[in-house]
Amino acid sequence: MSTETALRDQICLLARSLFERGLTHGSTGNISARTPDGGLLVSPTGTSFGRLDPARLGRFDAEGRLIGGDKPTKEMPLHTAFYDTRSTAGAVVHLHSCHSVALSMMPDADPDDFLPPLTPYGIMKLGRVKLLPFFLPGDPAMGEAVRGLAGKRSAVMLANHGPVVAGKDVEAACNAIEELEDTARLAMMLRGTNARGLTEDQVRAVVTKFDVEWDI
């Protein structure tokens, strides 16, 4: 089995896992990953994460030309913005996950630090998450907003839409976006309570110990 064949299978396996656990639904969400030759494999537009076909993933060459597979997601500007601004990005995942979308609608959501520091794992896997404003689906302005961050964030939350996360590979990106949704779920569960999150000193300790990319 070639490396690219294995990557195609991994993309579809992880996407199906996200779908089966309700982290995205219907034909929502999109996923991409770098190929060994510097190209991209991308989920096709209008497809379900639960039924992706490894052979039909969109295939781009290293110059960004579509050379095989089905027409890619309309959110390509989001994906390419992360690849172009973050040299460590090996995969990008975008979901329409329920709790993170709900949290983005809260009037007190912090645009510069979307996820409250409730556990160390959200900090370790995501750093600070930027909350971006609402854009129409497929609007290239979403990609421009990500480019405007100059590679300083590995994760953004599109208000009233869903999270987008870049990782070193497709497994890391999926793990991180799951952590984002789980932290958002905790935040929504705890709203209106006097729950104790991490203190500033505890956050600083996590950032230091695990060498977290922590944009101030």
Could you report the per-residue pLDDT of 85-137, keeping only the tens digit for each? 999 999 999 999 999 999 999 999 999 999 999 999 999 999 999 999 999 99
Residue 121 appears among annotated catalytic residues:
yes
Pick the catalytic residue: 121, 147, 168, 213? Answer: 121
Share of the chain above pLDDT 90, in %: 97
Share of the chain above pLDDT 70, in %: 98
Sheet holding 155-158, edge to edge: 66-68, 58-60, 40-42, 30-34, 91-94, 162-167, 155-158, 130-132
Computed over every residue of the chain, the mean pLDDT equals 96
Query: What's the CATH code of the domain at 193?
Result: 3.40.225.10
What's the structural domain count of the chain?
Answer: 1
Domain presence at residue 111: yes
Is the pLDDT at 2 greater than 90? The verdict is no
Is the pLDDT at 203 greater than 80? The verdict is yes
Domain presence at residue 176: yes
Distance CA(72)–CA(58), nearest Å, equals 5
The amino acid that residue 36 corresponds to is P
In the numeric block, which tokens belong to residue 135? 């854009």
| Predicted pLDDT at 104 | 98
Domain presence at residue 215: no
Residues 157, 179: contact at Cβ < 8 Å?
A: no
Domain presence at residue 42: yes
pLDDT mean over 169-195: 97
pLDDT mean over 12-28: 97
pTM score above 0.85: yes
Is the pLDDT at 138 greater than 80? The verdict is yes
Domain presence at residue 214: no
Domain presence at residue 216: no
Distance CA(207)–CA(214), nearest Å, equals 7
Domain that includes residue 142, residue range: 3-209
Residues 57, 63: contact at Cβ < 8 Å?
A: no
Domain presence at residue 136: yes
